């Protein structure tokens, strides 16, 4: 393999890995505080990509569209927790089952999909580039890179750094960890547990918004696209052990690169091999790359 | 009732003209949800079909045709159960559908056994009608592209005009079958593929596969993946611009919107609709008016329209809801003024395809429109 090919695969693998990282990060933060997974995470990514398209189509500039979509999805996260997960959790005490959130989040994903189909149709959509008028790549060392690919890589690293700071250095981050450790004890310590839970779902949805906005121009955008991202996000979060932001970044990068290189060497099973790799890893290390003893990442 | 009156009533029943039937129920199973390629095919075919039946109703066609439409979600089990429902509960006299050839192959034997005619479309697997043609009579017809026809036309042209051919196909049953047909077709022509790459159906990036094409020096990429737009995406980054040829799906207006005219220019695909022909042009304009931005696939919609014309003509001729009478009427239907290359008398006992090999030609994207590919002089 030539150096140019190696670098090209590296860039496309890193870009896809960055999208998986952001999706996994959303799954991780919600799981951290509530022990629940948002199975609609990929669908939130999809709706963010379509909203970006619609708002840009309405003539709004990118600098307005991005914060608007992030805010709208944050609101969506709040609605998911407040309107869907919590009411069913309450029913859980009356025999509704403590795993009702699985159905709730997956159902919310289906609702989002159907709304998207109604609003935008079932076909694929063209997502214009965010940072330039034409879809032309930047060239260096014989490799072509789209600005969106660089942006999604940079943003995923920046988000990891921000998350690390937020979780381990701020009062709110510590509160989330306290809720994760023991919600009753956190309540006794004066932490508003409900607010923390809403916060993590809003944060998770905002992460989906960021990945949706950035991924739109580099992947195919259509209402059914979310499931693949949810599944791959789950795989990445499992590699990271659902434990800390850095481990998830490592998992995401490894998964994206594995997908890119395995498709180069054997495209017949290119998408299957990374998933089999994750399964093999989990057999050897059920707690993911970072073992249980290093779960906090400190 | 005395015996004489009973005989009279029976005689009246027998003597009643078949035209006494008021409504004929026609069942449609199409892929109307799922991956974009499936829904684009399914909805486009249905749009054309509905327009043809609307024309029939507006011209006072008798008996009336009642359409019962179900979505098989590209799922073979669901398609089979929907067809059973159409036969057993809805009592339809004709069935049309669906997008996935695998689904058609799953329910066609049921319709053949039940003696209910099927007009398959827009599925394209080669053997859909030929598997049944020796069962006298066969109830399985088709109004759609035939995979073998478009592949044959493409390989004839590809071998003559390009040095190295490469293939990107999906790992689905459809993609694998196309890959096999292409490999065999090239072998028969004393040629072969310089590179063969596959991709899973939900894949988002074909950079690795296109790198392999570039390294193998492929100047014609045969695109037989359901996400038609994917091969175009990495081209600019790889600074690699081969000619792309593939499935008739590449003529979709949706592909044009996603890929853009510039990248799509010169892309070749199997076709059965010449938009330069006056009837096709008028149909295209009418569909745009009728469906607006939801109209996205001229050739598929036109084949749906022609299938609808055949159904209407058969119902009108048979004046009956009896599936067997309708089968005979479909086989003998004549005088169809088709939008596509479908002949006026499309079927015979030995051929249940609307399109023949000679009717399938290659189309090419030129200045934002699919036109007939003129052979090099």
- Which of B34, B204, B294 comes nearest A219 by C-beta? B204
What pLDDT score was predicted for residue B15?
43
Between B126 and B17, name the one with better pLDDT: B126
Tell me the per-residue pLDDT of B188-245, one tens digit each, with 9 for 90 and over: 999 999 999 999 887 888 999 999 999 999 999 999 988 888 899 889 889 999 999 9
Cα(B275)–Cα(B74) distance, integer angstroms: 29
The parent domain of residue B141 ranges over 14-145+279-346
Which residues contact residue B191 at a Cβ distance below 8 angstroms, ignoring those fewer than 6 apart? B159, B165
Cα(B101)–Cα(B248) distance, integer angstroms: 15
Closest residue of chain A to B175, computed from CA coordinates: A268
Task: Looking at the structure, tell me whether residues B342 and B236 fall in a common domain.
Answer: no
pLDDT band at B6 (very low <50, low <70, confident <90, very high): low
**B248, part of any domain:** yes
Task: Looking at the structure, tell me whether residues B124 and B21 fall in a common domain.
Answer: yes
Task: Looking at the structure, tell me whether residues B235 and B368 fall in a common domain.
Answer: yes
- Mean pLDDT, chain B, as a whole number? 89
What pLDDT score was predicted for residue B307?
96
Predicted confidence (pLDDT) at residue B122 exceeds the cutoff of 80: yes
A267 and B198 in contact by Cβ < 8 A? yes
B39 and A139 in contact by Cβ < 8 A? no
Q: What's the total number of domains in chain B?
A: 2
Which residues is A223 bridged to in the sheet? Answer: none
A123 and B230 in contact by Cβ < 8 A? no
B200 and A270 in contact by Cβ < 8 A? yes
User: To the nearest whole angstrom, how far is the Cα of A9 from the nearest Cα of chain B?
Assistant: 7
Lowest mean pLDDT among A72-81, B34-43, B97-106, B137-146: B34-43
Between B5 and B50, name the one with better pLDDT: B50
Strand order of the β-sheet with B243-246 is B193-199, B165-170, B220-224, B243-246, B268-271, B361-366, B369-372
**B3, part of any domain:** no
Cα(A24)–Cα(A27) distance, integer angstroms: 5
What pLDDT score was predicted for residue A186?
84
- Spell out which residues of chain B touch residue A260, defining contact as CB-CB under 8 Å: 205, 207-208
pLDDT band at B168 (very low <50, low <70, confident <90, very high): very high
B204 and A146 in contact by Cβ < 8 A? no
- Residue pair A201/A78 in contact by the 8 Å Cβ criterion: yes
Select from A228, A238, A283, A225 the least CA-distant residue to A259.
A228
- Which of B203, B236, B254 comes nearest A137 by C-beta? B236
- Spell out which residues of chain A touch residue B43, defining contact as CB-CB under 8 Å: 122
Does any CB of chain B come closer than 8 Å to the CB of residue A40?
no
Does any CB of chain A come closer than 8 Å to the CB of residue B256?
no
What pLDDT score was predicted for residue A98?
67
CATH of residue B177's domain is 3.40.50.2300
**Exposure of A231 in the CB half-sphere (CA atoms within 13 A):** 12
Select from A51, A10, A1 the least CA-distant residue to A150.
A10
CA trace torsion A39, A44, A47, A48 (10° rounding): -160
pLDDT band at B13 (very low <50, low <70, confident <90, very high): very low
Q: Tell how far CA A152 is from the center of its chain.
A: 12
Phi, psi for residue A2 in degrees, rounded to 5: -75, 165
How does pLDDT run along chain A (298 residues), one tens digit per residue?
A: 788 899 999 999 999 999 999 999 989 888 888 888 888 899 999 999 999 999 998 989 989 999 999 999 999 999 988 887 887 777 665 555 667 778 888 888 999 999 998 898 887 888 888 876 666 788 888 888 888 888 889 998 998 888 888 888 888 888 888 887 787 888 888 888 888 888 888 989 999 999 999 888 888 888 888 999 999 999 999 998 887 788 889 999 999 999 999 999 988 888 889 999 999 998 988 888 876 544 444 3
Task: Looking at the structure, tell me whether residues B40 and B126 fall in a common domain.
Answer: yes
Domain ranges of chain A: 18-223
Tell me the per-residue pLDDT of B71-97, one tens digit each, with 9 for 90 and over: 998 888 999 999 999 999 999 999 998
B258 and A125 in contact by Cβ < 8 A? yes
Predicted confidence (pLDDT) at residue B5 exceeds the cutoff of 70: no
Does any CB of chain A come closer than 8 Å to the CB of residue B217?
no
Q: What's the whole-number mean pLDDT along residues B328-355?
A: 94
Does any CB of chain B come closer than 8 Å to the CB of residue A9?
yes
Between A159 and B45, name the one with better pLDDT: B45
What pLDDT score was predicted for residue B318?
93
**B6, part of any domain:** no
Cis peptide before B339 (omega within 30 of 0): no
Greatest CA separation for chain B: 90
In this structure, are strands B165-170 and B220-224 parallel, antiparallel, or unpaired? parallel
Q: Give, in degrees to the nearest 5, the angle at Cα B283 between B278 and B288.
A: 130
- Spell out which residues of chain B touch residue A17, defining contact as CB-CB under 8 Å: none
- Spell out which residues of chain B touch residue A222, defining contact as CB-CB under 8 Å: 35-36
User: To the nearest whole angstrom, how far is the Cα of B258 from the nearest Cα of chain A?
Assistant: 4
Closest residue of chain B to A127, computed from CA coordinates: B258
Select from A5, A12, A249 the least CA-distant residue to A146.
A12
Alpha-carbon distance values, B258 to A111, B45, B297 (Å) = 25, 21, 14
Closest residue of chain B to A264, computed from CA coordinates: B208
B-contacting residues of A 43-102, CB under 8 Å? none
- Residue pair B219/B162 in contact by the 8 Å Cβ criterion: yes
A263 and B208 in contact by Cβ < 8 A? yes
A146 and B258 in contact by Cβ < 8 A? no
**B353, part of any domain:** no
Task: Looking at the structure, tell me whether residues B199 and B311 fall in a common domain.
Answer: no
Task: Looking at the structure, tell me whether residues B249 and B163 fall in a common domain.
Answer: yes
For testing contact with chain A, the best of B99, B196, B202, B252 (most A CBs within 10 A): B202
* Interchain CB contacts (distance < 8 Å): A and B: 102
A124 and B204 in contact by Cβ < 8 A? no
Task: Looking at the structure, tell me whether residues B183 and B122 fall in a common domain.
Answer: no
Task: Looking at the structure, tell me whether residues B141 and B285 fall in a common domain.
Answer: yes
Looking up tokens 């403590």, which residue turns up?
Answer: A98
Looking up tokens 């249940």, which residue turns up?
Answer: B352
Predicted confidence (pLDDT) at residue B18 exceeds the cutoff of 50: no
Tell me the per-residue pLDDT of B272-319, one tens digit each, with 9 for 90 and over: 988 888 999 999 999 999 999 889 889 999 999 999 999 999 999 999
Task: Looking at the structure, tell me whether residues B127 and B23 fall in a common domain.
Answer: yes
Predicted confidence (pLDDT) at residue B10 exceeds the cutoff of 60: no
The token pair at B245 is 């040829």
Angle between helices A147-169 and A171-181 (to 10 degrees): 70
Does any CB of chain A come closer than 8 Å to the CB of residue B254?
yes
- Spell out which residues of chain A touch residue B254, defining contact as CB-CB under 8 Å: 123-124
Predicted confidence (pLDDT) at residue B19 exceeds the cutoff of 50: no
Q: Give, in degrees to the nearest 5, the angle at Cα B144 between B138 and B149.
A: 95
Which segments of B16-63 are extended strands (E)? 23-30
Does any CB of chain A come closer than 8 Å to the CB of residue B236?
yes
- Residue pair B260/A135 in contact by the 8 Å Cβ criterion: yes
**B377, part of any domain:** no
Task: Looking at the structure, tell me whether residues B83 and B193 fall in a common domain.
Answer: no
What pLDDT score was predicted for residue B17?
44
Does any CB of chain B come closer than 8 Å to the CB of residue A134?
no
Task: Looking at the structure, tell me whether residues B96 and B181 fall in a common domain.
Answer: no
Strand order of the β-sheet with B64-71 is B64-71, B23-30, B94-97, B118-120, B140-142
Closest residue of chain A to B257, computed from CA coordinates: A126
Tell me the per-residue pLDDT of A142-190, one tens digit each, with 9 for 90 and over: 888 888 888 889 998 998 888 888 888 888 888 888 887 787 888 888 8
A263 and B40 in contact by Cβ < 8 A? no
């Amino acid at each position: 393999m030539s150096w140019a090919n190696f670098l090209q695969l590296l860039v496309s693998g890193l870009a896809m890995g960055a999208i998986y990282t952001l999706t996994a990060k959303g799954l991780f933060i919600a799981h951290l505080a509530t022990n629940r997974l948002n199975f609609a995470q990929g669908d939130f990514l999809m709706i963010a990509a379509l909203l970006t398209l619609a708002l840009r189509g309405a003539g709004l500039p990118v600098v307005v569209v991005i914060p608007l979509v992030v805010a709208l999805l944050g609101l969506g996260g709040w609605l998911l927790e407040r309107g869907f997960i919590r009411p069913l959790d309450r029913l859980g005490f009356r025999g509704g089952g403590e795993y009702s959130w699985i159905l709730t989040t997956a159902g919310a994903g289906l609702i989002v999909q159907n709304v998207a189909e109604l609003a935008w149709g079932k076909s694929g959509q063209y997502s214009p580039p965010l940072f330039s008028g034409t879809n032309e790549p930047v060239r260096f060392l014989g490799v072509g890179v789209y600005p969106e690919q660089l942006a999604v890589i940079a943003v995923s690293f920046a988000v990891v750094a921000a998350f690390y700071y937020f979780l381990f250095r701020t009062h709110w981050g510590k509160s989330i960890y306290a809720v994760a450790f023991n919600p009753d004890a956190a309540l006794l310590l004066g932490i508003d547990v409900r607010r923390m839970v809403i916060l993590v779902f809003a944060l998770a949805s905002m992460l989906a918004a960021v990945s949706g906005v950035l991924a739109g121009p580099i992947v195919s955008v259509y209402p059914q696209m979310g499931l693949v991202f949810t599944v791959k996000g789950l795989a990445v979060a499992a590699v990271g052990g659902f434990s800390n932001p850095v481990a998830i970044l490592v998992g995401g990068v490894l998964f994206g690169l594995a997908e890119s290189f395995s498709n180069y060497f054997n495209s017949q099973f290119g998408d299957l091999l990374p998933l089999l790799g994750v399964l093999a890893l989990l057999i050897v290390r059920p707690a993911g790359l970072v073992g249980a003893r290093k779960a906090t990442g400190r | 009732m005395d015996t004489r009156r009973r005989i009279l009533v029976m005689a009246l029943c027998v003597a009643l003209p078949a035209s006494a039937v008021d409504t004929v129920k026609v069942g449609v199973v199409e892929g109307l949800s799922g991956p974009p390629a499936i829904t684009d095919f399914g909805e486009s075919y249905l749009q054309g079909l509905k327009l043809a039946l609307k024309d029939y109703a507006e011209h006072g066609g008798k008996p009336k045709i009642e359409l019962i439409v179900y979505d098989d979600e590209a799922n073979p089990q669901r398609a089979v159960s929907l067809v059973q429902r159409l036969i057993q509960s809805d009592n339809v006299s004709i069935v049309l559908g669906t997008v996935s050839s695998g689904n058609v192959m799953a329910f066609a034997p049921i319709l053949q056994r039940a003696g209910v005619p099927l007009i398959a479309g827009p599925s394209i697997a080669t053997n859909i009608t030929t598997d049944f043609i020796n069962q006298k009579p066969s109830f399985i017809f088709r109004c759609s592209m035939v995979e073998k026809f478009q592949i044959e036309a493409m390989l004839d042209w590809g071998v003559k005009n390009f040095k190295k051919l490469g293939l990107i196909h999906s790992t689905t049953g459809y993609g694998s079958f196309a890959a096999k047909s292409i490999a065999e077709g090239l072998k028969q022509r004393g040629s072969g593929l310089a590179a063969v790459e596959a991709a899973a159906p939900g894949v988002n990036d074909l950079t690795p596969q296109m790198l392999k094409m570039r390294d193998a020096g492929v100047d014609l990429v045969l695109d037989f993946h359901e996400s038609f737009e994917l091969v175009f995406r990495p081209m600019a980054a790889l600074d690699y611009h081969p000619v792309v040829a593939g499935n008739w799906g590449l003529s979709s207006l949706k592909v044009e919107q996603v890929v853009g005219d510039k990248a799509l220019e010169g892309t070749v695909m199997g076709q059965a609709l010449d938009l330069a022909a006056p009837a096709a042009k008028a149909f295209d304009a009418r569909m745009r008016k009728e469906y607006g931005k939801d109209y996205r696939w001229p050739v598929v919609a036109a084949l749906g329209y022609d299938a609808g014309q055949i159904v209407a003509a058969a119902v009108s001729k048979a004046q009956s809801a009896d599936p067997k009478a309708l089968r005979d009427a479909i086989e003998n239907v004549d005088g169809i003024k088709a939008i596509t290359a479908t002949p006026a008398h499309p079927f015979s006992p030995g051929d249940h395809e609307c399109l023949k090999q000679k009717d399938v030609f290659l189309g090419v994207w030129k200045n934002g429109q699919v036109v007939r590919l003129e052979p090099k002089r």
